[in-house]
Structure 1
Amino acid sequence: PEAGSDAGAIPDTGVVYYGEFEGQQVLGLTMNFSKRWITLAPVATVVGLAFKLYDPDGLLGDKTKTEYGITCALIPASHAGVEVGPRHHPGGSPFMNGTVEGKDVFIPIDWIIGGAKNAGNGWRMLMECLAVGRGISLPALSTAAGEMTYLSVGAFAKIRQQFKLSVGKFEGVQEVSSDIVSHTYMLEAFRYLVTCGLNQGGKPAVMTAMAKYYATETMRKIVNHGMDITGGRGIQQGPRNFLANMYQAIPISITVEGANILSRSLMIFGQGSMRCHPYLFEELQLLQAEDKASALNTFNTMLYQHLGYTLNRGARAFTYGWFGASSQRPDSSDAFTQPYYKIINRFSTDFALTADMCLGLLAGDIKRKEMLSGRLADIHSKMFIATAILKFYENGQRSSQEQVHAKLALDETLYDAQEAFYGLFDNFPIQIASSLVKFVCFPFGRPIKKPSDRQKSEAAELLMQDNPFRDYLKTQVYYTVDPNDAFGRMEATFNLLTTVEDDWNSFKKAESKGEYQGLTFEERIQDAVTRGLISDDLATKLTQYNALRYDSMLTDIFDEKLEQVLVLENPHLHST
């Protein structure tokens, strides 16, 4: 594996000079470096290093250029002077992180990625590598964590009973368990669309910055909700715990590949405004052109086009706000998805006008207004996420149960986009301008309501049932029904419960009324069989489920010094 570069640190320096390599004098670089928090460093065979390149003697051929800027090179981890240090222990997870030190390291000039001609092009290389990498690894990890939580916590919420009722039936629990449903669906849809784009050879920096930030933040919410639902079962660490390791590792994914605060506050809209705006990038390029006279004529023409674009967006936003948005949509849309395309079309126009207001009135100060920039990132990203959900749904089974997932995910996502608009308008420093744009975009107030309690309860019920999306998730993550596995223990119990649920509930209801004799569950089962109230076969299934149910709720116990896991005794296993 290749070690990740420490892109968040100040690069070390490399100086061009002639040195000895494999017995010959060759043009190369000498450098010293000390890198921290390097991904895969303890097991790396190749180190990717970013550094500032200096050529004081003009050995690269350009005598007038002594500083080339950030450059990237690949160096074997076993190369002389390179020392891969011991590993870190990030957040208690087994994630391979460590240090890379270099003292008087000499490398041939050809070890620069792309050779000497690419000296100084390292920043672009870093950004393109990050653009691809952060759209794959961390969104995949976050999606898998969300999907494992969906499966295991859904099973737990069904199995665990309080007051003779599954805890997943309580509305307080459903308020958060419904978020697990919608957020997990959103994550899988988001991952699907982003990886499709990358698979086509693109390096979309803005899209992958969105994927990294919103995937990891959504994973944080899902796993936190899972911990709330599992309660004491979730916080007791040990081999039986199916959630604590994911919970403990959350800060790692939030931090690496660009800290999330940075991604949302600066990168998404900051890069997006350059890459996505039809005029802004070229306008800035013209302002820096050497031929000012020629550039000014082109700039003036483009500026008028830009103003025309902004006025057009304003007129369109006003029309959409009063009479409804464009119904333009893909051919694959249906009666369920069509209204959502209209909302996205409307918000897209509103966003274009709002972004131009921010850029036109704040100019470079938008970089320092990070709360506003973060809200612009939210609007942009939420529209993209909604599009991903629609695409995923349209390529799926389109069952009624999947539609419940998709509807809640879409309603929450677009409501968040709407609230980001309002948050921006309310906090914009020039209130006259923001009030005007707010009226143009939302003349009748907020068009989207929060999902209802009834809608959230319907989704929460699906979390505790077999459904097409649950079956799909089993194909995407590590899945087992091995009762000796932390995850498999919950799944095996849940699967058995789905086959005996009605009989189990009937038996427990009669048991609570005192209809069976005996002090233990096993004695009451035997009494029911003896009296012909249940069959021998059903008695065996109920007894087997009761044993698995009890076992699935047990938490690990240790000796006094937490050095050894002690054997748990399940009294119900003796009668299965």
Structure 2
Amino acid sequence: MFARLMHWMQANQVLPAISDTERQALEAGDVWIDGEFFGGKPDFDRMLAASYHRLSDEEQAFMDGPVEELLNRADTYAIAQTRELPKPIMDFMAESGFFSLLIPKEFGGKGFSTLARSAVMAKVTPVSGILSAYVVIPNTLGAAELLIDYGTDEQKAHYLPRLAKGEYLPCFGLTEPTAGSDAASIKAEAVAFKGDDGGVKLRLNFRKRYITLGPVANLISLACRIHDPDNLLGKGEDAGISVVLLHTGMPGLKTGDRHEPIGEAFPNGPLEGTDVEVPADQIIGGVARAGDGWRMLMEQLAGGRMVSLPATAVGGIRGAAAAAGAYSMVRQQFGLQIGRMEGVAAPIGKLTSLAYMTEGARVFGCSAIDDGIHPPVVSGVMKAYTTELAREAATDAMDVLSGAGVMQGPNNVIGRGYCSTPVAITVEGANIMTRTLMVFGQGATRCHPHALNVVQAVETSDASAFRRSLIGWMGHFLKGVGRTWWRGLTRGATVRVKGAAGPTRRYYRKLGWAAARFGLFTDLAMFFVGGKLKVKGNLTGRYADVLAWMLLGFSALRRFEAEGRRAEDLPLVHYSLQLALARIQAGFEGIYANFPGPLGSLLRVIGLPLLRLNSLGRLPSDDLGNQAAVIAQKWDAQTERLLADIHQPGSESPGQGRLMHAFRLVCDVEPLIGKLKAAQKAGSIPAGEPDSLVAEARAAGVLTEGEAARVTAAREARLAAIEVDVFSPEEFFANAASAPDRAQQAAA
């Protein structure tokens, strides 16, 4: 019976087919806490025991020393205008080890943890996207990572010390006009042939685009497909995808041209090669590694998805929250600070909570990698959803700063970041593709406790393995039906967690309830949609939403536990989890409303009304949003802790330095402003802006001389901080082509 069923499933493509490249992608990583959610019965105590690391003393010293010095030295507005790093900045970065964070100490590098590399990127990116590119690429997406994992001893000895010193500046040549998210379809070709010296060589022809650091790099890791008609490499005529090291200056290699990225014009451009010839031992890992490039690419991209892109996104979210909270207390309208208006407080509460939750997810995810766990599904979630949330955060911060965010110049603290948010959303797999194809499409097979075994048994026609795996899956499915019904009936009350704090227990129960439904509906998708899942992107995207928000919500809980259950952070935890549960609810409603076939009709008519009646959660209340906003609108020990490792320039610095200086002074005199308002009500001093009535308050004995000086200083700083940049005509047009030049260019 089982054999007949297996053959029927083969003939009707009931289960998703797995190509060779997909199989390598599935095998190139680990299942982590994502498996708990796909299984439908997460063990939260075990998940809470997973590592949540901190920086070592050496790593923190680097953050507090060289990183701070770099950001203080760099004139980021000038860099954005000139679109290049000054040589003294490049030299400082090389001398201080910014290009060597990833490289082991025995090769002259820092040998930092994944968490530390992520922290450096998160600190640098909100300050300058151009500076960030020079930090991110060498430490995640350059040659060093592949050489460490796959390089020959000779390659490591030659390249790694020179990469550490900045003598080699790397870039990663992957994307082509017809190959982006689908890296397996690259057209770049390397033909193997025997050179005049008798050695095996490669002749490469390629056209790459969107290559970050491509115009300035002198070492290229190029992804290509090797064609070997004479089997000189011993891998057959089609030797497969490989990664080859190229040096600028090689005959036939063209670099230096640039694209113009939106926002900040970080170095990015095409790479072109015509009959570029290199020895075959320039394959990373040597000839023995020819054809291993697909696995290398999957691991390289996974690193970008878990490390660099979430780091830059979370750094942006945290920076946006800090700027919006400060500005809302410095800027006044209608006689009060705009942050006291509920309409303004609402986005600030959301921003502050997102900063808390996504920072927890960043640290949690990097800790897993430092423990030797490489979860590609969670990496995809982190990349897609943190970058999307960064876009939301930039929009919310722009709404708060308004004109101060629109008018460009050294004092604009949000504008360049706002304009640059589409960049992270499009790279390392565009978010549309990551959400609708990768997260659930890969996770449903890879992370499910039984699906991959069944698929493999069907593909290999192993009836015995098929029988065992299918029986296990059926038992799992029936338990999932009962678990989902019971947890829905009890609203998660049956979920048990020993290691959770009392105020947060209800969230574990809700997440456990959501996970039970998610596990069951994963089974239903595999049963009733099966091989068509790959083309049901809207449906799989909704599954991805549910999984992502379960992971993000749990990350906020993990952070709360790791940081000692700080009661003052509870508004942020409550907001984060309520937002997560509301979006999980929305994801399930979308699944119920769009599930195909007869089951979908039943879900729409009966299931959807019941789902809405017995809801997982709703969006945070206005009151909770105000509580979360207040945390960003004061300066105290909690604020300093939550803003740790965000660059805070000196008070004399334009932009962030000037704004945060005014914010601290305004917070310091808040009690004195209260005294002035009380005096106004009592008639002791006239009406008007309280901090403009210092002389009257001093004369009436409301303020002492010292208090009056503090209020005056805060007012002056506040007024200075809300000013925007003004340029003379000569300054404004200094970096623009003249009208005659533009006319000549247009006519050419």
Return the TM-score normalized by structure 1: 0.90
Of residues 557, 561, 573 in structure 1, which corresponds to 2:726? 557
Q: Quick check: 398-407 or 212-221, which moved more? A: 398-407
How far 1:56 moved relative to its partner?
1.4
How far 1:306 moved relative to its partner?
1.4
Q: Quick check: 217-226 or 530-539, which moved more? A: 530-539
Of residues 441, 445, 458 in structure 1, which corresponds to 2:614? 445
> Hey, what does 2:271 align to over in structure 1?
100
How far 1:545 moved relative to its partner?
1.2
How far 1:45 moved relative to its partner?
2.9
Q: Quick check: 400-409 or 274-283, which moved more? A: 274-283
Of residues 375, 380, 388 in structure 2, which corresponds to 1:217? 388
Deviations 1:38-59 (A, max 9, x none): 0221232321111121111222
> Hey, what does 2:210 align to over in structure 1?
37
> Hey, what does 2:339 align to over in structure 1?
168
> Hey, what does 1:304 align to over in structure 2?
471
Q: Distance in 2 between matches of 1:260 and 1:421?
A: 20
Deviations 1:229-263 (A, max 9, x none): 11111111111111101111111111111111111
- Shift in alpha-carbon separation, 1:534–1:275, aligned structure 2, 3 A: same
How far 1:445 moved relative to its partner?
2.1
> Hey, what does 2:26 align to over in structure 1?
none
Deviations 1:377-401 (A, max 9, x none): 0111111111111110101142322
Q: Distance in 1 between matches of 2:369 and 2:700?
A: 65
Q: Distance in 2 between matches of 1:351 and 1:83?
A: 50
Q: Distance in 2 between matches of 1:501 and 1:402?
A: 22
How far 1:443 moved relative to its partner?
9.5
> Hey, what does 2:640 align to over in structure 1?
471
Alignment partner of 1:536 is 2:705: yes
Q: Distance in 2 between matches of 1:193 and 1:38?
A: 29
How far 1:523 moved relative to its partner?
8.6
Q: Distance in 1 between matches of 2:495 and 2:691?
A: 63
Of residues 55, 72, 83 in structure 1, which corresponds to 2:228? 55
Alignment partner of 1:83 is 2:254: yes
Say whether the 8 Å CA contact 1:401–1:468 is kept in structure 2: no
Say whether the 8 Å CA contact 2:202–2:278 is kept in structure 1: yes
TM-align CA RMSD: 2.6
- Shift in alpha-carbon separation, 1:527–1:314, aligned structure 2, 3 A: closer
Amino acid at match of 1:15: V
> Hey, what does 2:191 align to over in structure 1?
15
Deviations 1:315-336 (A, max 9, x none): 11112112353433353x1102
Give unpaired runs (5+ residues) of structure 1: 566-576
- Shift in alpha-carbon separation, 1:176–1:439, aligned structure 2, 3 A: closer
Q: Secondary structure at the match of 2:733?
A: coil
Say whether the 8 Å CA contact 1:322–1:443 is kept in structure 2: no
How far 1:341 moved relative to its partner?
1.5
Amino acid at match of 2:656: F
> Hey, what does 2:420 align to over in structure 1?
249
How far 1:126 moved relative to its partner?
0.6
Amino acid at match of 1:137: S
Q: Secondary structure at the match of 1:57?
A: coil
Amino acid at match of 1:553: I
How far 1:125 moved relative to its partner?
1.2
Say whether the 8 Å CA contact 2:411–2:725 is kept in structure 1: yes
How far 1:511 moved relative to its partner?
6.3
Say whether the 8 Å CA contact 1:19–1:106 is kept in structure 2: no
- Shift in alpha-carbon separation, 1:229–1:522, aligned structure 2, 3 A: closer
Amino acid at match of 2:713: Q
Alignment partner of 1:318 is 2:489: no
Q: Distance in 1 between matches of 2:459 and 2:318?
A: 49
> Hey, what does 2:457 align to over in structure 1?
286
How far 1:429 moved relative to its partner?
1.6
Q: Distance in 2 between matches of 1:379 and 1:529?
A: 59
Amino acid at match of 2:522: A
> Hey, what does 1:328 align to over in structure 2?
496
Q: Distance in 2 between matches of 1:218 and 1:439?
A: 27
Q: Distance in 2 between matches of 1:372 and 1:533?
A: 65
Q: Distance in 2 between matches of 1:523 and 1:355?
A: 63
- Shift in alpha-carbon separation, 1:286–1:78, aligned structure 2, 3 A: farther
Of residues 233, 239, 244 in structure 2, which corresponds to 1:68? 239
Matches within 5 A, 1:407-422: 407-422=574-589
How far 1:265 moved relative to its partner?
0.8
Deviations 1:421-459 (A, max 9, x none): 111111112253574694899595213232212111221
Q: Distance in 2 between matches of 1:514 and 1:252?
A: 56
Matches within 5 A, 1:414-433: 414-432=581-599
> Hey, what does 1:158 align to over in structure 2?
329
Alignment partner of 1:230 is 2:401: yes
Amino acid at match of 2:561: E
Q: Secondary structure at the match of 1:41?
A: coil
Alignment partner of 1:240 is 2:411: yes
Q: Distance in 1 between matches of 2:328 and 2:536?
A: 43
Q: Secondary structure at the match of 1:93?
A: coil
Q: Distance in 2 between matches of 1:235 and 1:241?
A: 8
Say whether the 8 Å CA contact 2:589–2:611 is kept in structure 1: no
Q: Distance in 2 between matches of 1:477 and 1:106?
A: 46
Say whether the 8 Å CA contact 2:589–2:608 is kept in structure 1: no
Q: Distance in 2 between matches of 1:441 and 1:476?
A: 46
Q: Distance in 2 between matches of 1:381 and 1:518?
A: 52
- Fraction of identical pairs, as percent: 31
Deviations 1:351-395 (A, max 9, x none): 111011112111121111111100000111111111111110101
Return the TM-score normalized by structure 2: 0.70
Deviations 1:97-116 (A, max 9, x none): 12222121112222222222
- Shift in alpha-carbon separation, 1:259–1:541, aligned structure 2, 3 A: same
Alignment partner of 1:348 is 2:348: no
> Hey, what does 1:548 align to over in structure 2?
717
Say whether the 8 Å CA contact 1:213–1:260 is kept in structure 2: yes
- Shift in alpha-carbon separation, 1:519–1:250, aligned structure 2, 3 A: closer
Say whether the 8 Å CA contact 1:71–1:120 is kept in structure 2: yes
How far 1:418 moved relative to its partner?
1.6
- Shift in alpha-carbon separation, 1:124–1:438, aligned structure 2, 3 A: farther
Say whether the 8 Å CA contact 1:132–1:198 is kept in structure 2: no
How far 1:512 moved relative to its partner?
9.3
How far 1:287 moved relative to its partner?
2.7
Say whether the 8 Å CA contact 2:579–2:618 is kept in structure 1: no
Q: Secondary structure at the match of 2:174?
A: coil
Amino acid at match of 1:140: A
Q: Distance in 1 between matches of 2:213 and 2:285?
A: 23
* Matched pairs, number: 555
Alignment partner of 1:374 is 2:541: yes
How far 1:337 moved relative to its partner?
2.3
